[in-house]
Amino acid sequence: MLLIAAALLTASMHSLGVVEAPVAPAVHSVAAPTSSVTLVVDTSPARPVMTGVQMTAEDLAVAHGRTFLVDLSRLDRSALTRAETDRRVLATTQDDPPSAADVTTWWAGLGVDERRLLESAAPSVVGNLEGVPYDVRDRANRSVLAADLADPSIGAARTAMLGQVQQSLVHDPGAPRRNLITLDTRGSGRAAIAIGDLATAADVTVVVPGMFFTVTGQMTDFTNTANDLYSEQATLAGVAAPGSGSGVAVVAWMGYRTPDLSNILSLGLAKTGAERLERAVDGLRQLRDGEQPRVNIVAHSYGSTTALMALSSGRMSADTLTVLGSPGSDVQTSSELSVGAGQVFVGDAHSDPIAGSGYFGTDPGSSTFGSTVLDLAGGADAEDAGDVFRRPVGHNDYLKPGTASLHDVALIAVGRGDLVREELRRGEGGKDGVPQTSPDMYLVRPQDLHPRD
């Protein structure tokens, strides 16, 4: 049934019309010859030091971890320019990068001129390393975007993808600036755009998309959806829980390849996406060391499976998790998740054929999971009777303006999950009086599946 649901979702979506201060590698020194030899290994983070050794782009292409950062710092402009277009270097940057902790320490130890050189000569690298400040990454990625769009040889498909990213960065006068914090131009592409200031926001929400979302097809729409959530959160400043920092920030995180009809039945992309999500959140936490924001994950459809994997890995934590239209995962209960106590929320809209299906395992909205199932029936706000919200309908209606679900997600993201209304949890087979939500396609209208108006 998931394939049938996926096919209808596809059809409906298509109907929408440094020579300076180089850095030494990790030191391996051997004691003076005696009766025994002692190997001393330097395990401290990568840091700039003076050295006369000059590295090449070829050296960088085979380096990994802290060594990658060390070698990167030792390239002159010519070598950096060559490295910028080396597929192996880009693959390391995007797919197997150094840890955010090492990157943060390394970047802090660089001089101003070294940073400028790296940003100007190797923007594709600097713009995608978790642990580099977000304003630097935004500048670097925008320069790559502009240069590629000005290149007539990149082809129609890549031009279309980058055009979507460019359009996604446009904001209304007076609205917060949008920062391009991830840009992977390989293949079908990946991107992440932050609305608000990630360096100072008290509340940071990362929105993870589900199946059929691509940079070329939905990046602009997805970023506008993140902006809708940002705007809803901003209206709740008066009731927001205290936090470290001020204001809110929302990330439209299309940082992984989502499945299409050819691979919707596999969890491979969710696993890869979970690893990328872990790195993205770790980057935020490293940069905000000492002043941690409230981190909220909002995940839709297959994205919820991805987020559940990440939060059960032991390598990532969040203050809240909200899953919308989830097909489930192999996580059995909320106790397996590194999420604040009582801070797992589930949204199941009327006529959503995916929500509650448990296709990939346990339904997070089941009575045994330990989550709060949101009452999305709509109506007047419990705190302000002047606000009336409508019920979301279908699989892609959750974050539309005016819905009860968008309002609830915003409340949760500003630390006020205590204000959302709870629905009865589902038991096995719907035995607790709530009809079991399963993929019954006879109840789904094509118009319910449109991502946005």
Output the DSSP codes for 83-137: HHT-HHHHHHHHHSPPPHHHHHHHHHTS-HHHHHHHHHH-HHHHTT-BTB-HHHH
Q: What is the DSSP letter of 318?
A: B
Using DSSP's 3-state secondary structure scheme, residue 194 falls into strand
In this predicted structure, what is the pLDDT of residue 26? 39
- Is the separation of the CB atoms in 127 and 165 below 8 Å? no
pLDDT bracket for residue 239 (50, 70, 90): very high
In this predicted structure, what is the pLDDT of residue 378? 83
Instruction: Spell out the domains of the chain, with CATH numbers in brackets.
Output: 28-132 (no CATH), 170-449 (3.40.50.1820)
247-265 per-position pLDDT tens digit: 999 999 999 999 998 998 8
DSSP class per residue in 368-424: TT--EEB----EE-SS-TT-EEBPPBSTT-TTSTTBHHHHHHHHHHTT-GGGSPBPP
pLDDT at 88 over 70: yes
395-409 per-position pLDDT tens digit: 999 999 999 999 999
H helix and E strand count, the chain: 14, 12
| Structure tokens belonging to residue 21 | 């201060």
Q: What is the mean pLDDT of residues 420-431?
A: 59
Helix 112-121 and helix 134-149, axial crossing angle in degrees, nearest 10: 30
Angle at 267 between CA 226 and CA 2, to 5 degrees: 80
- Is the separation of the CB atoms in 376 and 424 below 8 Å? no
30-57 per-position pLDDT tens digit: 333 333 333 333 455 554 544 456 789 9
In this predicted structure, what is the pLDDT of residue 34? 39
User: Within 13 Å and on the Cβ side, how many CA atoms surround 208?
Assistant: 34
Q: What is the DSSP letter of 219?
A: H
CA-CA-CA-CA dihedral for 27, 33, 36, 41, to nearest 10: 0
> Strand pairing of 320-324 and 372-373?
unpaired
- Is the separation of the CB atoms in 347 and 317 below 8 Å? no
Cα separation, 397 vs 34, whole angstroms: 73
- Is the separation of the CB atoms in 164 and 220 below 8 Å? yes
In this predicted structure, what is the pLDDT of residue 421? 87
Cα separation, 416 vs 397, whole angstroms: 22
In this predicted structure, what is the pLDDT of residue 45? 54
Q: What is the mean pLDDT of residues 139-160?
A: 98
In this predicted structure, what is the pLDDT of residue 125? 99
pLDDT at 443 over 60: no
- Is the separation of the CB atoms in 222 and 209 below 8 Å? yes
